[in-house]
């Protein structure tokens, strides 16, 4: 019982500290951990392992962020020339991403019609 309240308090506090973008995922993760703790038995160990795994993952990814943004580069890297097919494919991907993000109606209607045709 004490472990359950401790885990609940730690995760509620952690959920409030994390930004809004990651908050939903963190809250869902916390609910799974809390459910495992409340179920008791061997699931308590599963909850402990999940918390240790989350701590290791945070250490790993935060270390990458520190190396990327908070340390000085060792030396200036020269910019490699980009081949024409790469530029064309990147431009096509950019245009498709913007089109699907701004005007998804036609594609969604086409997908819905295809789904209806499949179930007939």
Same domain, yes or no: 54 and 106: no
Q: How many domains is the chain built from?
A: 2
Same domain, yes or no: 102 and 49: no
CA triple 43-48-52, angle to 5 deg: 145
DSSP sequence for 64-96: HHHHHHSS--SSPPPPPPPPHHHHHHHHHHHHH
Same domain, yes or no: 20 and 53: yes
CA 31 – CA 29 distance, rounded (Å): 5
The pTM of this model reads 0.41
Q: Is the pLDDT of residue 105 over 80?
A: yes
Same domain, yes or no: 98 and 58: no
Same domain, yes or no: 50 and 88: no
**If pLDDT is split at 50, 70 and 90, which confidence band does 30 have?**
confident
Q: Kindly state the percentage of the chain with pLDDT values over 90.
A: 21
| Domain span including residue 107 | 84-119
Same domain, yes or no: 53 and 7: yes
Write out pLDDT tens, residues 40-73: 888 888 888 888 888 888 888 888 888 888 888 7
CA 69 – CA 24 distance, rounded (Å): 25
Count of Cβ atoms closer than 10 Å to residue 10 Cβ: 13
Q: List all residues 6 or more positions away from 23 whose beta carbon is below 8 Å from its beta carbon.
A: 15
Same domain, yes or no: 44 and 88: no
Range with the poorest average pLDDT among 58-72, 86-100, 104-118: 58-72
Q: Is the pLDDT of residue 97 over 80?
A: yes
**77 within a domain of the structure (yes/no):** no
């Amino acid at each position: 019982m004490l472990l359950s309240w401790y885990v609940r308090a730690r995760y509620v506090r952690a959920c409030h500290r994390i930004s809004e973008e990651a908050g939903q995922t963190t809250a869902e993760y916390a609910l799974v951990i809390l459910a495992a703790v409340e179920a008791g038995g061997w699931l308590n160990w599963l909850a402990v392992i999940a918390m240790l795994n989350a701590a290791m993952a945070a250490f790993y990814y935060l270390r990458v962020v520190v190396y990327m943004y908070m340390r000085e580069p060792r030396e200036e890297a020269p910019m490699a020339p980009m081949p024409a097919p790469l530029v064309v494919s990147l431009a096509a991907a950019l245009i498709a991403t913007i089109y699907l993000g701004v005007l998804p109606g036609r594609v969604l209607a086409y997908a819905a019609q295809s789904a209806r045709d499949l179930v007939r």
